[in-house]
Each structure stands twice: as C-alpha cells, then as structure tokens.
Amino acid sequence: MSLPYALRERCGERPATYPEIPHQQLDQIAPVELQEELWRRMAGLGHVRTGASVVSLPETRALHLDPEHALGPATAFVRDSTEFAHLHGPFDGSLHLLLPERDAAEALARGWGEFHPLVAEGRCPPTLIMVYGPRDGGELETVWELVRRSHAFASGQIL
C-alpha cells in the first residue's frame, strides 16, 4: 500500500546532516514552535506512551506503542522495543521513524529525509529513516502525515 495521497516534493536543498551516530540534522532547523506542535500531535496518537528513546540522545522524545497494540512487523520498531518514532532535541528538530519500505523510499525520493546510517551498513532495515524537521506549516502537515503513517505501520494497520 502506498501513501494515501501524492507526497509532494520538499522544496529547496536537503539539510546538512551528520553521517554517523548520532545521526542529526545540522541546518535548516525546524522552528521550536513547529517542533512543539508536532510533538503535541505525536503524543496524542492512540495507544502510545511518551518517554526516552531506547537508542537516541537524552533530549530525544520517543513514542512507544502499548505492547498489546504493537501488531506491526519487527521492521516497524527500533531494535527489540515498541518505539516507532522519536523527535530529536530543539537544536536538531528532525525525527527518526519507521515506515513500510515503499513509503520510506517515496519519502526519500521526494526529499523529506534520508536513511539512517545503520541502514547502509546493513544493521537496520530500510524502513528506518530520518525525516527532516518542518520549516513551515505546510511542511508540518507532511511530516505529521509521515508520523501517522509510521504509527499505522507499528499498529499493524499497513504493511
């Protein structure tokens, strides 16, 4: 199943990112108010609890699906957890999330993100991507749709 709408192209150049761990966005940082609006929406998704990431820096805020609702494949989660997305700290503003492979490839092709470095090393599946932080309200809506898609993938609603 592909994305439920035509994913638009992200305007402009891709931001600079750190190519190793910690995988971070270095410029074109999302305004803090957009980061906070995105987090408010993320924290309101069904059957999630918020908390620390199992893999990221301490300032990262993560979404963990309640175990009884974590019905997606193992490739929908970070390591052996129920974490499916996390928002980096305010000096970064990007996210890591997991999407079905076709959706991840489409998001990357349209300029919305890039694979996590561990994907290239074969240590993570090609479902794990960095999504660049939203720079304006229109981008917020696209990034929010990608987060909702990640939630549906982790919930087993799409494969």
Structural domain includes residue 122: yes
The conformational region for residue 155 under phi > 0 = left, psi -120 to 50 = alpha, else beta, is alpha
Rounded to 10 deg, the angle between the 137-154 and 101-109 helix axes is 160
Is the pLDDT at 3 greater than 90? The verdict is no
Residue 112 is assigned to a structural domain of this protein: yes
The answer as to whether 67 is a domain residue is yes
84 located within any domain: yes
Model pLDDT for residues 117-129, shown as the tens digit of each residue? 999 999 999 999 9
Q: Any idea what the CATH number is for the domain that residue 60 is in? A: 3.90.1150.30
In a domain, 114, yes or no: yes
pTM for the predicted model, two decimal places: 0.95
* Segment 57-102, tens digit of pLDDT: 999 999 999 999 999 999 999 999 999 999 999 999 999 999 999 9
Is 18 a member of any domain?
no
Q: Where in the sequence is the domain holding 96, given as residue range(s)?
A: 32-154
**Exposed (0-12), middle (13-18) or buried (19+): which is 114, by Cβ within 10 Å?**
buried
Round to whole Å and give the CA distance between 30 and 47. 27
Collapse the DSSP code of 73 into the 3-class scheme (helix H, G, I; strand E, B; otherwise coil) and give the result.
coil
Name the residue with higher pLDDT: 4 or 137: 137
Note whether residue 123 is domain-resident.
yes
> Considering the domain boundaries, does residue 2 fall inside one?
no
Count of domains in the chain? 1
